[in-house]
Structure 1
């Protein structure tokens, strides 16, 4: 939604095409940010390195969030000041996304003490180094050329005359390259046909849909108005039921009917504020504002609570895929 820092409808997620190389998919989403890497079969020193790496990234996220909160700056205000999207900053501070060196530097410039001006950048460098140490050694490709057998007595007598097989070897190598390219193409087309075209199964209930599958409503638009209840940074006791209410305005030329606010990601689990998966949006004519309320229950333990919500139709298709989510970012605290 246009205007207002929190609760705007902006890009719900990058639509990342899947590229195939020898049957292996790569997802270039957030290509400018360091990525978590899945490492299979890690044990021994590699397992210890992975644990150390994860701990450093968690510590960095906590330090960054603590530095901002210690300075008394709200996430929405910090997003406006720095130019980073509030959803990205929240993901970084909650350990869901690794920060770039530039972002860690921005936190250092704003919050780190003069006697230790690059402490967050140094911690990030330590985490990156731990990542490098935890990576498994590269294994030879199963499709690689088999080792040549050691020469035996009499092999020289079996060798063809010089140059007699040169053309044959070049032709055979060229044929292998063509066959490999065809295999990659077939695998890519098959996978593309079995998914929604972006490497994600169409059965995924939380899939990100392309603009081609979103409801077509000419002139449709929305704008964030206010957090009516539970503003960002609120402190809610553990195990308490509470209601979050947002106000948004229909600034387009279409009437809102049969629409819903749907939660992104899981709706319940350890450390999460639990809620229903979606709530109906009352009928809203052009130019009118509407308040949308969601009932939550705080988790059993203190910590941060962050949720995102998107406007969808009855089939779960986004109305505003290129606008940000309504979101709630609060702290769960012990009962005082």
Structure 2
């Protein structure tokens, strides 16, 4: 199977996907692109390298092979790729049941007292009723009016019932220009969307130890105690590198011993442009 080449995407989305793929590669041990191409067996190391440059939006085939070469689950990445690409899954079309002519004639011709019920029509009506019921249940789940339904659980959670949601960048949006050597305070907002209270949790920098000349930050920062449903602000001071360039640092939620809570969840990150 070959790659059909990079595709166009919404402005700015190519860089966002490139940044997240680079974070995935870093979390997988930063394998070389040649090694990743060997694992894939159907895409070149040059194409894989292009995917993290952020110049053009990569095709799903390229993204899938990149994700597989890093040992990650392609399902959430497919959803993320479609989200950035601007694709919206088509809603299912439910057609109204049509009368079955053959069965209607059969009813008219059957002897009195032995007419058969048109089973196909009955089955279609039942199926339609099921669709309506399921839609109603889905609405209750989404709006939170079905009290017996438990909150969604992240499939990569180490603890059953645990989950997290990234809400947004409070300060220092992606791409912010920071002068070389200057210090800024990055703040994220995240939410505890699971059923487990958070206590003694941290955000830990992924690229430890940092490379020489990289932007400087603490190795980890404390996340305040956060009950289920609550939001929390997490701050980390960042000192820009001494030379101009792009500075990207990913962070994952860990316990006191450094073990990740969400192994498959994309990291939160800070991305700044260091200027003279």
User: With structure 1 as the length reference, what TM-score do the two structures score?
Assistant: 0.40
Q: Which has the higher contact order (CA 8 A, sep 6+)?
A: 1
User: With structure 2 as the length reference, what TM-score do the two structures score?
Assistant: 0.48
